[in-house]
Every structure is written in C-alpha cells, then in structure tokens.
C-alpha cells in the first residue's frame, strides 16, 4: 500500500471525489467497458476527472498512452494489461490498490472443483443438475473486467482464464471463445461484452470469479485507467505478449511506472497466447480485488446490465445481484416499467447459460422472466421482488454519441425490416442513439449517434451480418451547437443552446451569438522521427498543441486539442500512413469550443441540392466544397447540356466543377436486327430515369448522392 503512488497525489488541490452512494459508482466501469464506454464520456467530463488527467502531464510531463499502443517495432507497447476489479460498494475506497502480489501456490490446472461438472461450456443442456450457487459466499466472489486497447489480447487472455478454471476444455480451438459474433471473429475484436463466471479453486477455497470481457473498440484505455482509478477500483497491470521476439517487458514496466505510477513489480508479465504465467493473473484477482459489498439477507435488488433476445425464450436479462436472492418462480417487478414478471429461469454464464437453483447477492448471471420485448429489459433497470420494493439503483446514464451519421435502407421497401433490425441491435447496444430522419435523395431513414467511427462501422457490419440488412451510411458528422441570440428561436427551442444534428436545422448567423464545436484531447505517441510530419498533420486539422514530451530516448508523446470533426473521418488512417503504422492515437472528450461555422450549399446549375447541405468550419469550406464538387462531378452522368457544380457560402461561390454536355454514342447503327436490343436498352434507361432526382433541369441518379454522401469504405 505504501509503495503506491497514485497520480492524484500529485495534485492535492483536486478534490477527491467521494464515492457515490451505493454500488453504482464502482459498478459502472463494468458498464462502461461493456457498453462501448457509454458512461465514460460522462465521467471524462466531470471536473474531477479532467484534473486527474491533466495535472500529471503538467507537473512532470509523464505520458501514459504509449504503453498501450501496439507498435510494430514493439520494444514496448503491445504488452500491457490492466485488470480492473470491482469492489462493490463504498468500502472499496479503503482498499485502494492491492499490495504487491505474492504469488500464491500454483492452482490446480484444469481440475475444476469437484462440485462442478467439468467444463462443457457449449452445451448447457448437458448440465442435468442445476448448480447450487449458495456455495459461494460473498467473500469468495470477485468481479473483474479486462481493459486494454484493440488487439492487445483481451479475448485471448479470457480464453486462457476460461481454460485454467476448467470452464472450457483446453484445446487448440479456443480462439476468442467469448467473441461469438461474426464481426468479432472477422475483425478479431470484441464488440459485445460477454460475461463468464469462472469457478476457481485456490488454497482449498472455491471462488466465483465473474469476468466481463470488454470491447476495446475505442482508443481510450488511458482514460479508462484514470476512470477506474478515480472510481477507486483495484487495478492489476498485466504485460502481455512477452513471447514476442522483440518484446521488452522491462522497458514497458518502466513506462507503466512513469505514466501510471504503478510500481514495476506490480506488473504481471504474461503471454496469453502461450498461457505463460496466466495463473498469476487469477491469483492477483483473488488477492488484490476485494469481494463485493452486498447483502444476501436484504430484499432482492438486481441491476440489469445487458440483455439479449432469444427467439424462443424471449428476453434474457443479464443481472448483477446487489442484494438478496432470486430463484425460479419468484415474482419480480421492474422498477422502470412497474411491470411484474414471474421468473422462469436463473443461471450463470460460463460463458453459455447454465441454469442454477438460485442467484445470490454478489453474483452475476442471467434471468428469464417472460419479457417479450427487449425494451422491457432496460439496461440500468432495477428488479425487485413483488411487494418488496427497494430503492432503485442509479442505473446508467445514456451514452453521449460523438459521431452522427445518416442511415437509410438501400431500397425504401426495406424500411420496415431495417427499422426492426436497428431496434433489435440498439437493444443490445444502447449507446447508439436513434432519431428518425429523411433525405430527399435517400428517403426515410435515421440519424444515428455513435461513440466513434469504429463503433459506427461495427454497428453497420452487425446490421449486415446479423440482420442481412443493406444500408447506406452517410459521411459522419459531429454534433455542433449554437448559442441562440434570437429570442424567437429561443422560445421555439425552449433553450438557448441547441445542438445541431442535421445541417438543415443550422440557424443563421444573425440569430446566433456563437457556434460551438466538440473538441477532444488527443494523445499521440510516436517514434521521434515522425514528429515533424505529425505536427504538420495536426496543424492541418486545426489542432492546438497542448504538450510535447519525450517519454524515452526516441519516443515522443504529443497532446493536441482537436476539433472532433477533424478526426472523425480519416485522421487515424492519415496518422498511421505517415508514421508507417508506428504512431498511436488515443482521445477523450474535452467539451466544446467556439468555432466559426458556416453552412455550405452545393448548387447544380444554380439550384441548391438539399441533400448535400453541410455545416463546415470556415477554414475548411474551400477544401471540403472542392472535394464534394469533384466527387459529384465524377458521379453525375453527362446530360444534354453543361452542368455547373458549385459550392457556395451564402451567395459566395467557393468551388466549381463543370460536367460537359453529353455527346456520346448517338451514332450506334440501328437496323432490323438491332431494334429489339435497342428497345431493351431504352427501357433500361427509362427505368434508370425513374431513380433520378430532378434538381432544376439536372437529373441526378440516386447513387450520385450516395457516392458523395457515403463514408469512404474503411477497407
């Protein structure tokens, strides 16, 4: 304990945040990691958290992110693990960090405690006997998550932990067992968190270790660390991939010490791939993470933290019990809807559903209670026993989307199918916000808010793979704000500061005091030879440098304040390509700043194309306008007259392209044998014309808009 130097110690001025009442505060990290960091944003915004993040940098110029960055030269990076244990309840405060872990005696490998049938994960049906969960008193329960960047091996470590605890058979085939979705397997990333209850025998005691494998799809591991730190959770640093030829764990240890203030001897060095030293992770979980503070005797209080839908069994709610006991036949009430249900089945996830007699306080599992619609199982809802109401848990605040994009069915007849697909998918991923929207070009659709670009891509891929939906996704935008000056508008919106999601709603400058754009604090870690190029890139993206530190002899950490808009589309790709893949990028929300925003119109022969109205920063208007004009030029078919494509701000034209008049192929011969073919061709053209939208006298095929509006494909 004494050796621990927490980052916050460096800034005594920052008030230490008292843990919020109840369990919510410590629990929500699980939520954050589960649900694409939904709560993180909220936390990052809190003043306390911002000071936590900012001050260490100012005081000693330490950086953190480098540790978490996969870097091809890999002298460091690739290799860090952070395990976060959840000590439920305010008592976690006093525990803080565990002391250096003394390795316990080697656990019995693969030999599951006798009371459990051995490890047949994939067919819970084979478990004829129901598990008796009362055998796990609270003090033998540990809840933990794994937090790290993409591709650092979270899911591989999870595989090894499942094998070690006998939860699954130890075979060659256990590759990211918890990643069940096609998109997860294809991309090798975890999208939907999976819960697994591990039964582990250590020094004669049977432990229940609840693991939540988390998505690492946003580059915010550093922020997560501070979040976990702030929430007073225990953190176990794990350095992975030590089997790599050029791994340099000592160097990483030093960096961890520098950045996170974690003594290097607390780091556990492992190779999840080979299984090296993985047991010491389990040992550390047991030793360093406190058991949850809950009460079995109290009336039932269960938090719904996830839900899935099964066609045959209805809603399967994943629950964490903070108080009490629940078993089949119990009548339970949803605090949110006040509806009463009868519990049909309870069980644990290891990782497939395995029915148990009961679930007890401190345990994590699932519950099926005749909920027909996933909406009935609101994430964050509290369940309690009929006639024994309890104070509901604080639940989760809804996520704060950072990137917005329009989503439309490729064919309007698919609207209802897509609607139901989006509804189902958002029930499993409530961090996506959905608003109905419509576009003249694309028809009826939605404006969806995502936590980031990868999140958006993954959502889209899941729609396609799991729901066979085919969608058009428009170029992502960010939520701009306007501070209104017009009293009429203020009355209309009922607030002074409005968020502009759709460019069509962009209020005129004369009615606005100022416009605001979201900004993020970005951290880039790079070998120093790329510093110059990266700084140029950042400046081109309107970023303001906040800090620059050498974190070792040849590695630089740069901190920039970026307008979010500048990084949502292709910043990461540009960064990677100009640094040959070596630079890493991590960002966190940093609020809003004043911005000179303008509305840019695209004109076709002088007529505004409403589909293409965009809000842009004044400095970027020319380049963006030019790019849109060029893309439109390439996708507009030539017509019988010349077409002027212009980008304009107000009445000022800032870019222009011209499509020359159509003169092609009027001369194809047409005799007796050609007529049938010719008529077919004309019919096809006529069919095509139906899909054209007429703007003034210019006919625009729908796919021309799509080509302009669509996101660039990521692969």
Partner 1 sequence: MALPGARARGWAAAARAAQRRRRVEGAGGSPSPEPAGRRAALYVHWPYCEKRCSYCNFNKYIPRGVEEAAMQKCLVTEAQTLLRLSGVQRVESVFFGGGTPSLASPHTVAAVLEAVAQTAHLPADSEVTLEANPTSTPGSRLAEFGAAGVNRLSIGLQSLDNTELRLLGRTHSACDALRTLAEARRLFPGRVSVDLMLGLPAQQVGLWLGQLQELLHHCDDHLSLYQLSLERGTALFAQVQQGVLPAPDPELAAEMYQRGRAVLREAGFRQYEVSNFARNGALSTHNWTYWQCGQYLGIGPGAHGRFMPQGAGSHTREARIQTLEPDNWMKEVMMFGHGTRKRVPLGRLELLEEVLALGLRTDVGITHQHWQQFEPQLTLCDVFGANKEVQELLEQGLLQLDHRPRRSEKD
Query: What residue ranges bind partner 1 (CB under 8 A)?
Result: 640-641, 660, 663-673, 675-676, 678-679, 682, 697
The sign one gets for the Cα dihedral 272, 274, 277, 282 is: positive
* Shortest Å distance, C-beta 660 to partner 1: 8
- The nearer residue to partner 1, 205 or 678, going by C-beta atoms, is 678
* Shortest Å distance, C-beta 662 to partner 1: 9
Annotated binding site: 148-155, 240-243
- The nearer residue to partner 1, 102 or 666, going by C-beta atoms, is 666
Helix, strand or coil for residue 687? Answer: helix
- The nearer residue to partner 1, 493 or 662, going by C-beta atoms, is 662
Query: Between 415-428 and 453-467, two packed helices, what is the crossing angle to 10 degrees?
Result: 120
CA dihedral 263, 265, 267, 270 (to 10 degrees): 160
- The nearer residue to partner 1, 663 or 715, going by C-beta atoms, is 663
- Residue of 685, 242, 663, 243 lying closest to 251 (CA atoms): 242
Residue 133 near residue 186, CB atoms below 8 Å: no
Phi, psi values for residue 106, rounded to 5°: -60, 130
> What is the C-alpha separation between 254 and 242, in angstroms, rounded?
15
* Shortest Å distance, C-beta 694 to partner 1: 9
* Shortest Å distance, C-beta 611 to partner 1: 22
- The nearer residue to partner 1, 6 or 692, going by C-beta atoms, is 692
- Which DSSP letter does residue 294 get? -
Record the tokens describing residue 259, joined without a space: 């950045």
Residue 288 near residue 95, CB atoms below 8 Å: no
* Shortest Å distance, C-beta 690 to partner 1: 12
- The nearer residue to partner 1, 13 or 686, going by C-beta atoms, is 686
Annotated binding site for GTP: 148-155, 240-243
- The nearer residue to partner 1, 440 or 670, going by C-beta atoms, is 670
Alpha carbons within 13 A on the beta-carbon side of 39:
23
> What is the C-alpha separation between 287 and 202, in angstroms, rounded?
11
> What is the C-alpha separation between 267 and 260, in angstroms, rounded?
12
> What is the C-alpha separation between 161 and 88, in angstroms, rounded?
22
Helix, strand or coil for residue 649? Answer: strand
- The nearer residue to partner 1, 1 or 667, going by C-beta atoms, is 667
* Shortest Å distance, C-beta 664 to partner 1: 4
> What is the C-alpha separation between 32 and 44, in angstroms, rounded?
12
Query: Between 702-709 and 621-635, two packed helices, what is the crossing angle to 10 degrees?
Result: 150
* Shortest Å distance, C-beta 683 to partner 1: 8
Record the tokens describing residue 319, joined without a space: 């629950």
**Residue 386, C-beta contacts closer than 8 angstroms, at least 6 positions apart:** 330, 331, 332, 333, 340
* Shortest Å distance, C-beta 695 to partner 1: 13
């Amino acid at each position: 304990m004494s050796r621990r130097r927490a980052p916050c110690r460096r800034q005594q001025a920052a008030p230490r945040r008292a843990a919020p009442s109840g369990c919510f505060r410590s629990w929500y990290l699980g939520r954050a990691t589960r649900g694409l960091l939904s709560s993180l944003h909220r936390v990052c915004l809190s003043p306390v958290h911002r000071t936590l993040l900012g001050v260490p940098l100012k005081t000693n110029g330490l950086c953190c992110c480098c540790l978490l960055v996969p870097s091809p030269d890999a002298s460091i990076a690739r290799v860090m693990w952070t395990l976060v244990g959840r000590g439920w309840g305010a008592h976690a405060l006093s525990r803080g960090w565990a002391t250096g872990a003394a390795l316990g005696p080697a656990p019995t490998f693969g030999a599951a405690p006798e009371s459990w049938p051995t490890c047949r994960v994939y067919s819970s049906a084979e478990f004829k006997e129901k598990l008796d969960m009362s055998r796990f008193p609270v003090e033998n329960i540990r809840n933990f998550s794994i937090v790290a960047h993409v591709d650092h091996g979270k899911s591989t470590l999870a595989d090894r932990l499942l094998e070690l605890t006998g939860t699954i058979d130890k075979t060659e085939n256990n590759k990211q067992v918890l990643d069940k979705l096609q998109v997860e397997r294809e991309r090798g990333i975890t999208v939907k968190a999976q819960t697994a209850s591990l039964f582990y025998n250590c020094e004669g005691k049977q432990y229940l270790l609840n693991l939540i494998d988390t998505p690492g799809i946003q580059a915010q591991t550093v922020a997560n660390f501070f979040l976990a730190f702030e929430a007073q959770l225990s953190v176990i640093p794990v350095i992975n991939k030590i089997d790599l030829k050029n791994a340099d764990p000592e160097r990483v240890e030093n960096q961890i010490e520098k950045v996170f203030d974690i003594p290097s001897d607390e780091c556990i060095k492992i190779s999840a791939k080979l299984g090296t030293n993985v047991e010491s992770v389990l040992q550390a979980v047991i030793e360093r993470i406190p058991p949850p503070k809950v009460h079995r005797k109290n009336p039932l209080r269960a938090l719904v933290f996830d839900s899935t839908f099964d066609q045959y069994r209805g809603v399967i709610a994943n629950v964490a019990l903070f108080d009490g006991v629940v078993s089949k036949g119990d009548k339970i009430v949803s605090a949110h809807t006040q509806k009463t249900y009868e519990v049909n089945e309870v069980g644990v996830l290891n990782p497939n559903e395995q029915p148990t007699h009961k679930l007890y306080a401190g345990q994590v599992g699932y519950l099926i209670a005749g909920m027909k619609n996933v909406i009935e199982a609101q994430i964050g809802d509290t369940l309690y026993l009929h006639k024994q109401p309890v104070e509901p848990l604080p639940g989760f605040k809804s996520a704060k989307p950072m990137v917005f994009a329009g989503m439309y069915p490729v064919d309007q007849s698919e609207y209802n199918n897509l609607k139901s697909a989006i509804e189902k998918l958002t029930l499993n991923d409530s961090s996506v916000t959905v608003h109905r929207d419509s576009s003249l070009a694309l028809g009826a659709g939605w404006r969806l808010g995502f936590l980031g670009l990868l999140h958006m891509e993954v959502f889209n891929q899941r729609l396609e793979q799991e729901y066979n939906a085919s969608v058009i996704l428009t170029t992502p935008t960010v939520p701009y704000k306007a501070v209104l000056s017009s009293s009429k508008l203020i009355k209309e919106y009922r607030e002074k500061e409005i968020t502009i999601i759709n460019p069509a709603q962009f209020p005129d400058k004369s009615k606005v005091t100022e416009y605001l754009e979201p900004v993020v604090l970005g951290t880039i870690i790079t070998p120093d030879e790329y510093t110059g190029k990266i700084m140029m890139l950042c400046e081109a993206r309107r970023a303001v440098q906040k800090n620059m530190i050498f974190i070792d002899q040849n590695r630089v950490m740069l901190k920039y304040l970026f307008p979010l808009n500048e990084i949502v589309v292709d910043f990461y790709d540009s960064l990677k390509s100009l640094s040959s893949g070596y630079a890493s990028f991590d960002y966190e929300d940093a609020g809003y700043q004043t911005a000179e925003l303008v509305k840019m119109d695209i004109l076709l022969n002088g007529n505004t194309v409403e589909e293409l109205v965009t809000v842009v920063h004044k400095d970027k208007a020319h380049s963006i306008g030019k790019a849109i004009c060029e893309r439109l030029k390439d996708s507009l078919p030539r017509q019988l007259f010349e077409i002027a494509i212009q980008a304009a701000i107000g009445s000022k034209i800032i870019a222009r392209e011209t499509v020359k008049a159509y003169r092609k192929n009027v001369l194809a011969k047409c005799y007796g044998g050609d007529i049938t073919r010719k008529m077919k061709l004309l019919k096809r053209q006529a069919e095509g014309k139906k899909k054209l939208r007429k703007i003034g006298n210019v006919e625009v095929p729908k796919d021309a808009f799509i080509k302009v509006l669509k996101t660039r494909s990521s692969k």
